Structure 1
Amino acid sequence: MKHGKKYVDAAKLVDRTKLYDSNEALATVVKTATAKFDETVELHIKLGVDSRHADQQVRGAVVLPNGTGKKVRVLAICKGANVDLAKEAGADFVGAEDMTQKIQQENWMDFDVLITTPDCMGLVGRLGRILGPRGLMPNPKAGTVTPDIAKAVKEAKAGKIEYRLDKTNIIHCPIGKVSFGPDKLAENFDTLMDAVVKAKPAAAKGQYLRSVAVTSTMGPSVRVSTSKFGA
């Protein structure tokens, strides 16, 4: 893959043979982000587990202390008193059958997170084929199927992110914007890393954290030392 001059120049500032301290890595990512827009900073964690086995799945959700820098559009599927609670908490769209029909019939997808209550999972379950491949299916482990819909909506709007393994046993998550600066990014980085380390499955053997890297949307990847996380 051929890279542009800006990327090539930025890549020269990164030592490919080095494992950076997380703070230094994030400072390097900020320094090498030269795009004209506010780039997203992503964290990529390769784990020593096998996602094909149910007892080695790593999945959860965590509220980043400084948010993600992205406006999160929340759809709440609920009924009764929960409708008003979801609206008051800041949900962008609230409904039940009307919303599920809109998704099914119009392929409407103008939301980033779907939160529902247990009594509405029967409705939402019908959307599995549509929501599943997009990573939008609500899940109790991620806190998106919950009786406390107001709390879930507030957390999603505040910067709660879900982390989960892909087929190659890697977690990819946004941890903020370049404009946050290294210190705020470091707080978000540590929060997510701590959550992933605590989520280590009992069935995982050997080295858990295989590799960690941070990168901006258009910038080079910077490898991070995992020694301080002791996993």
Structure 2
Amino acid sequence: MAKLSKNRKNLAELVDREQVYSISEAVELLKKSSYVKFDETVEVSYHLNVDTRHADQQIRGAMVLPHGTGRSQKVLVIANGAKEEEAKAAGADYVGNAEYLEKIQGGWFDFDVIVATPDMMGELGKLGRVLGPKGLMPNPKTGTVTMDVAKAVEEIKKGKIEYRVDKESNLNTIIGKLSFEDDKLVENFKALNDVVIKSRPAAVKGTFVKNLVLTSTMGPGIKVSID
């Protein structure tokens, strides 16, 4: 407990909670402040000036980070016939249809992402109450409802991330691992930030990004400038 308190004290001395840092400075500080032995996940949290009660302000999408996420994701593809073979060839971890829908209904969730062909969404939709709360329901906006299942699987395996603004107007996603070289984390951040800024709804007036914080699994929250 004494060691934990000492670590927190060191963090307080290292990071000024009120100061806004450049992304390069923030990455450097995040690495200096790490005191755990595992490879922490690096995340960014935006607080945006949007009202999600309006459909045109519900920001959601997906992208492949330049240097990936540093973590492997298990992909389940729900498809039929030739599309099953395409998915297997692309490296999907699980491929099938009815048998996997039954397994999910029974409480099986040994996967991170579901990719489905449009013709299977009718059946998948029946599992909405199970998949929806876990954020696992495929969606055309994130490229997980598609006939090009091979491309979808390959992108996810390369480091595709999904982002979505929640009801409190926050958007949280990962940009890599703390073990990444500084410049790779910076490049991943800049790629994501460009996409977020370009997603600004036309109806939004004034400042779009109200707050932006970089953090890691056990690290401090560091305010970041979007410039």
* Pairing of 1:6-155 with structure 2 (within 5 A): 6-104=7-105, 106-155=106-155
1:166, distance to aligned residue in structure 2 (A): 1.6
Corresponding position of 1:171: 171
152-161 or 11-20, which deviates more: 11-20
- Give the residue type in structure 2 aligned to 1:214: L
1:147, distance to aligned residue in structure 2 (A): 1.1
TM-score in terms of structure 1 length: 0.94
1:71, distance to aligned residue in structure 2 (A): 1.1
Change (3 A) 1:137 1:4: farther
Distance 1:61 1:75 in 2: 17
Indicate conservation of the 8 Å contact 1:7/1:220, yes or no: no
Distance 1:208 1:162 in 2: 20
Following superposition, which runs of at least 4 residues in structure 1 exceed 6 angstroms of deviation?
A: none
Distance 2:132 2:64 in 1: 22
Question: What percent of counterpart residues are identical?
Answer: 54
The secondary structure found in structure 2 opposite 1:61 is strand
- Give the residue type in structure 1 aligned to 2:72: K
Distance 1:11 1:153 in 2: 42
* Pairing of 1:161-200 with structure 2 (within 5 A): 161-200=161-200
Indicate conservation of the 8 Å contact 1:45/1:172, yes or no: yes
Residue-by-residue CA offset, 1:148-202 (whole Å, 9 max, x unaligned): 0000000011110000012211111111111003111111101111111111122
1:53, distance to aligned residue in structure 2 (A): 1.6
The secondary structure found in structure 1 opposite 2:73 is coil
RMSD: 1.1
Distance 1:7 1:111 in 2: 35
The secondary structure found in structure 2 opposite 1:214 is strand
Tell me, which stretches of 5 or more residues in structure 1 are unaligned?
none
Distance 2:35 2:66 in 1: 25
Distance 1:93 1:184 in 2: 30
Distance 1:147 1:94 in 2: 14
1:61, distance to aligned residue in structure 2 (A): 0.4
Residue-by-residue CA offset, 1:70-126 (whole Å, 9 max, x unaligned): 11000000011000100111100001111111101x211111101011111111111
Distance 2:87 2:104 in 1: 19
1:67, distance to aligned residue in structure 2 (A): 1.0
Distance 1:123 1:55 in 2: 28
Indicate conservation of the 8 Å contact 1:47/1:170, yes or no: yes
Tell me, which stretches of 5 or more residues in structure 2 are unaligned?
none
Corresponding position of 1:211: 211
Distance 2:116 2:6 in 1: 47
Distance 2:135 2:13 in 1: 35
